[in-house]
Structure 1
């Protein structure tokens, strides 16, 4: 079975010690396009076998190109192809990986084929594979081809052989062709870019597949949904909790010498250079980027599902609804480094209004709420004639906490962020922590309560605290050195009047779950949350996803012992649909496949591991509503295929 994952494209450094994709050894054939210091392409097998890779004639040679700032072969769709002598008849097990960007969306075309390979024949096109598309896995059909850069993985094992007919010496008679159909399938020649291709003559373990896929995902900017990205040393550089709110367009900078990975600038190929982050300064290619970063340094980011539109103005600023989480992983905490952030804004903000400016805003707390005092802003340095905004010398994860969340903002020159500490059951007074960004001191600050001035001061410091604030309505006014002003109002509430903003009842939608957050309107510092339900659900997170109907109780206990208890009723929708929950789940713990159908139908469930092997299957019949409970004892990533008479759904299931 063929699998294909979306990806973004990065570069390698050539090192003296042995390298392999993801640090996984025993690679049998490893083709990487390499132009050296010129645009003359070299066809090199970087495995220890050093297979001869060639174009038979001048007209067959692919051209030089770049894919996500890395060298790539560019096939013309007419006469370009490569030939690799490769013994096929002794091939018993294989894992094959290929990166490509298809430019022929009108016809199925050849990626790989073989000749003189007998029973071990392999053939592989732009349309006979499976591909990840955000959180779904789609079978690619000739009528649905697209030009998104992609990673495909093919697994085959325990292939019987009745004869050995073409093995001649060490090389044999069989060949692999890249970009050409050597058989009779009537495929067109491949048109598009192909930077990398490699084969293992073995079936990789789950950890090995994860490391190889992570190497390719980072190098080529493809999002592998709900999968933790691993370094060659199996260190987690993008974690499962990062997917919760930031599941899309994952890309990154990565230096991993055991993988030959030296990606110094990157973008998500699925968004056509919407956001680019480069170590030091953006260059034409990875090779021409002069930044030097230590080995095992990774800077990985992904964005929320929110749209590329400005939110409502708050405190003189409009933040973009979409947010990005970024994770720094390094062997030493001192290895935060300056970057250039480039963001395409022309279709979002065609013209910057008079008196306003564009900023990059980083929430150093990593929470992504952008309402605390842990914010830092970077002013735009340049908006070029193509509509790209450039932000120079941006340093992520200055506090070495591991993560930041960032977005972009349009507004006046003053960006005010605040943290309001409400009164509690033990303290009748609240407080305000203020952070002024984007202006210059000294700052003149006036605080009024119920239209009466209670404090005024002049401060050179951009961070100012106001303590012992009695309950009531307040207004804050700030004026900086350049007479730029900003103003906002806030409330200090009595603890008895505080509620968590949850409704009394909710209905589960067709997609299978609702998201609730019990922390709203409650001072979150040190507050402990406990969710319980009559259906057995428990959680200590303030924000939860609820998949099942039931009566839920939420107990919030503040750091000084104040307690608020709320109750929520969740009922089941009568709408039809198929869902799987909880996902992710733990090895040995049960998950449920729920199917609500419009009429009685048979149901067939297949669970496959990522090599395509069948792990489990279930068949039931004669009902319009199914709740199939099962479990898996081995951790990893699985494909769950649910088929009824009228529909078919595919899910990715994570077992931790």
Structure 2
């Protein structure tokens, strides 16, 4: 005999009762029920009603115990894992024809459509929410949800306003996790987690709805898609994340913060879109949010989002550590600048890998531009956790200038490094340039030396801290920069300096050379005026003074363009064209125990890639196109257990392999 969890509501609800201790979800008062997940000392999780003054809904709802504590963004989450675990509320004469529902859910998979809740009148389902759609079976209205192939947690919001209340209805039932008997619906029992459930017996206005959704989004690490015209709000209705202003960083929005009116006290968070990739905690990270002892100020928030760029290295800028393509925006509200945070990144989830003898650093742009200009960026070195691929950055503070925002990303660098940037010289009028140097890492004092190739120029300085050292009267040329710290650690870099007004071609730094064909390069495009000279050098003694050359050999070529003694230098790499565009493919884990997998793809040139995942009969089950890059990082989930043939196609090449889901 199955165990049904049945709760009888024998009285009319009294919506004018207030929530306990002045709490209300999103600061929107008078919900008729508000269940959150808690656990007892034995580790048994249950729903707790945060409205103890209202007797219509029971204070606790317990289900069959799970074999583990389930969490979503470090908060407890009720598990429904068997058909016997559904919940029934017998509402009697209480009507929900005018209501707003919020539920946070994460099904175990998206292979089948699963019931989340249904509202029944006289044993007939009239309103049904599933993982795939919302259905009003009385009026035959349906709202399908966007496909969610990666099966990320979501907030399901529904409101209805029906002017006619049917007084002839004998019974009303709200059923959680299981479908009703009639009509027979082609949906499955819910399996997964339901951390929180809220009902209002009225239709909330747009601002109220966003306040509730903002509260749930921050608590569970779920990124809201509100559009540019709407923003995240606190319980007072004030903006804490401006969607329009931050539209370039509108992906994977996550946050920590405290809002006593909402009963929100989120001290550590990770995006539900990619949990564990980046985790930020106030103070040290704990297993659960509730165990974190750090005190946050009321109405203090840190919210961050990213630009959705690839988790791979950007092009290196001279004198700077190479950074990730992906950048993040951090916004601060309230008195939050004094809070020290810990950041963790899981490098196993990234396409970027460290070069030899390099370490992970975080770079924080304190300016309002987000351009990571030298002199406006702070660097903090990370520490690796043993054998986990996780890097930890301690004691990071935000909004130290009280501007309300910072930008950050991650980069690679050695134990100690010199950050250098150039104020370029000019030819007309003749004016020397300047090298700016700042040391990060290592142990002071530092010995800094700068010398110029093919010149007698050489200088040394002793630096006692990381303040900027300005090196004046710099002329065009190639310079060696060396730094040695008090422990003897040595850092070396090479700086190429040319006049800002030197004539420069518009040739690319790399070209493909096809077999049996000549490659013609023309350096004259966009160069105006007379008295311009050209000098080409290349492999096997190649030399030419013509602006236009024809290349038959791959290798490294250098172009010097000179106008009245003002010269520019450009290195151009010519590579032999390979019709097989694939350089490296890595898929892991394989086999995968839970269906989730990651794929790192490196190409020999920029090209689109089509990923075709088919069953052993050749029927395509998933199809994905990646566009516009030479490096890709892709995460997915197999549709079910079994073996699949994964085929990658790009240009005229393809690669296939077997991916196994246990």
Which of 224, 249, 254 lines up with 1:251 in the alignment?
Answer: 254
CA contact (8 A) 1:265 1:277 kept: yes
CA contact (8 A) 2:34 2:199 kept: yes
Q: Note the 1:352-363 alignment, pairs <5 A.
A: 354-363=356-365
Partner of 1:489: 495
* Distance 1:129-1:116 versus aligned 2 partners, 3 A rule: closer
Which of 302, 305, 314 lines up with 1:302 in the alignment?
Answer: 305
CA contact (8 A) 2:26 2:212 kept: yes
CA contact (8 A) 2:268 2:281 kept: yes
* Distance 1:313-1:467 versus aligned 2 partners, 3 A rule: closer
Q: Note the 1:26-45 alignment, pairs <5 A.
A: 26-45=30-49
CA contact (8 A) 1:255 1:263 kept: yes
* Distance 1:468-1:377 versus aligned 2 partners, 3 A rule: closer
Q: SS in structure 1 opposite 2:379?
A: strand
CA contact (8 A) 1:111 1:126 kept: yes
Partner of 1:111: 116
Displacement of 1:477 = 0.8
> TM-score with structure 1 length normalisation?
0.64
Query: What do you get for the CA RMSD once the two structures are aligned?
Result: 3.6
Partner of 1:640: none
Query: Take 2:258 and 2:462, find their aligned partners in 1: how far apart are those partners?
Result: 47
Query: Take 1:339 and 1:37, find their aligned partners in 2: how far apart are those partners?
Result: 29
Q: SS in structure 1 opposite 2:257?
A: strand
Partner of 1:585: none
CA contact (8 A) 1:228 1:239 kept: yes
Q: SS in structure 1 opposite 2:378?
A: strand
CA contact (8 A) 2:100 2:201 kept: yes
Query: Take 1:31 and 1:62, find their aligned partners in 2: how far apart are those partners?
Result: 22
Displacement of 1:349 = 7.5
CA contact (8 A) 2:118 2:125 kept: no
Matched, 1:320 2:318: no
Displacement of 1:476 = 5.3
Displacement of 1:120 = 9.6
Query: Take 1:465 and 1:60, find their aligned partners in 2: how far apart are those partners?
Result: 63
Q: SS in structure 1 opposite 2:215?
A: helix
Displacement of 1:188 = 2.0
Query: Take 1:72 and 1:29, find their aligned partners in 2: how far apart are those partners?
Result: 17
CA contact (8 A) 1:99 1:196 kept: yes
Partner of 1:195: 195
CA contact (8 A) 1:55 1:83 kept: no
Partner of 1:73: 78
* Distance 1:295-1:426 versus aligned 2 partners, 3 A rule: farther
* Distance 1:427-1:29 versus aligned 2 partners, 3 A rule: farther
Displacement of 1:313 = 4.3
Which of 158, 164, 167 lines up with 1:160 in the alignment?
Answer: 164
> TM-score with structure 2 length normalisation?
0.64
* Distance 1:489-1:55 versus aligned 2 partners, 3 A rule: closer
> Unmatched 5+ residue regions in structure 2?
1-18, 136-142, 508-662
| Farther-moved stretch of structure 1 (262-271 vs 121-130) | 121-130
Query: Take 2:323 and 2:165, find their aligned partners in 1: how far apart are those partners?
Result: 62
Partner of 1:278: 281
* Distance 1:490-1:63 versus aligned 2 partners, 3 A rule: closer
> Unmatched 5+ residue regions in structure 1?
1-14, 131-137, 167-172, 502-656
* Distance 1:498-1:22 versus aligned 2 partners, 3 A rule: farther
CA contact (8 A) 1:309 1:322 kept: yes
Q: SS in structure 1 opposite 2:468?
A: strand
Partner of 1:224: 224
Partner of 1:343: 345
Q: Note the 1:35-184 alignment, pairs <5 A.
A: 35-47=39-51, 48-53=53-58, 64-86=69-91, 90-116=95-121, 121-129=126-134, 139-140=144-145, 147-166=151-170, 173-184=171-182
Query: Take 1:60 and 1:479, find their aligned partners in 2: how far apart are those partners?
Result: 61
Query: Take 1:55 and 1:462, find their aligned partners in 2: how far apart are those partners?
Result: 58
Query: Take 1:340 and 1:327, find their aligned partners in 2: how far apart are those partners?
Result: 16
Query: Take 2:106 and 2:31, find their aligned partners in 1: how far apart are those partners?
Result: 23
CA contact (8 A) 1:60 1:81 kept: no
* Distance 1:427-1:365 versus aligned 2 partners, 3 A rule: farther
* Distance 1:55-1:380 versus aligned 2 partners, 3 A rule: closer
Query: Take 1:98 and 1:56, find their aligned partners in 2: how far apart are those partners?
Result: 16
* Distance 1:329-1:421 versus aligned 2 partners, 3 A rule: farther
CA contact (8 A) 2:97 2:162 kept: yes
Q: SS in structure 1 opposite 2:311?
A: coil
- For each residue in 1:466-496, what CA deviation from the matched residue of structure 2 results, as whole angstroms up to 9, or x when unmatched? 2654663463513121231222325364569
| Farther-moved stretch of structure 1 (229-238 vs 425-434) | 425-434
- For each residue in 1:307-330, what CA deviation from the matched residue of structure 2 results, as whole angstroms up to 9, or x when unmatched? 111234444733222222211211
CA contact (8 A) 1:120 1:159 kept: no
- Name which one, 1 or 2, has greater alpha-carbon Rg: 2
Partner of 2:525: none
Partner of 1:460: 464
